[in-house]
Amino acid sequence: MKQSNIIVSFRTTGDNTVLTSSYIPASATISDVIAKQNIITSGSVNLGDDKTLTLRAGNSITLSSGFHAQAGSTFNAEIKEFDCTPIEVEAWTSVACIGSGLKFNVANATNYSVRIYSISGSLIYSGSGSITGNPVIVWSALGAPIGYYTAVINFFSPHSKISNSYNILVQSCANNVPIMPSLSEELLATQEITSNKFDFILSPNPNDGNFILQLATENSEPYSIYIFNSFGILVSKIEHCNGRQIQINHSGLIRGIYYIKLTMGIDSVIKKIIIQ
């Protein structure tokens, strides 16, 4: 079975768990059920031939009448004392200062792993390590050009995991404070490019990263949309569009000035948008 087809269902519970068939989703290939003290099955619990079920409890695991593991399935049971305290991430940091890095304050985690991808999808960094205190620096960002990246972060404890995948901005900083793009009059006066062949409207503007791009007139020719930050770095693109109106959702972008470039054939129009 390919890794991309595996569906994992984790269920972390309290002191005692009564396991019924509803605890194992039909779509789940791998299920992991945890209780601090006892697990007991109830009613018909049928483990299919392509399923894996792991039960872990601190005191006892009881398989009652009605539990059945089909040939080809995988069943594991383990008695072990452990702490079910969940991992807590104070905030998923969206800005990394070059040198001081991408930092997190994390509780109840022992290890981490991180992968950083360029805006084009190329892996530029992969790492892991132990957590001994806060802040946890998962990537120094040394040598990384200023711009947007995708971070895939995992924090682990012996019996838990928390993950997130989202966009981050690598920035130069002063005293560990990101130097954000300024909304100065000079930037507001930046020249925009127009075309006598087509035009588009951005609404609302300013906005929070969610806005509508609408062609001023009906058009049958496909077009592409490119979003650049104030440094001229491409942060997003939507290609081969056909509709007159496109809903764009980028609420994860930090506040500042961005430039929307719409290209149709050999012609382009660039307009400025402000994300607050």
Q: Is the pLDDT of residue 21 over 90?
A: no
pLDDT above 70 covers a percentage of the chain that reads 83
For residues 20 and 11, is the Cβ–Cβ distance under 8 A?
no
Quick one: DSSP state of residue 4?
Answer: G
> pTM of the full predicted structure?
0.44
* pLDDT value at 100 more than 70: yes
Residue intervals in the chain for CATH 2.60.40.3080: 185-275
Say yes or no: domain 88-178 is CATH 2.60.40.
Answer: yes
185: pLDDT strictly greater than 60 = no
DSSP state letters, 189-238: T---B--SS--EEEESSSBSSEEEEEESS---S-EEEEEEETTS-EEEEE
Class for the domain spanning 185-275: mainly beta
Q: Check residue 109 and give its pLDDT.
A: 92
Give the pLDDT of residue 235.
73
Question: Who has greater pLDDT, 6 or 258?
Answer: 258
Judge contact between 53 and 47, C-beta under 8 A.
yes
Residue 144's identity, in one-letter code, is: A
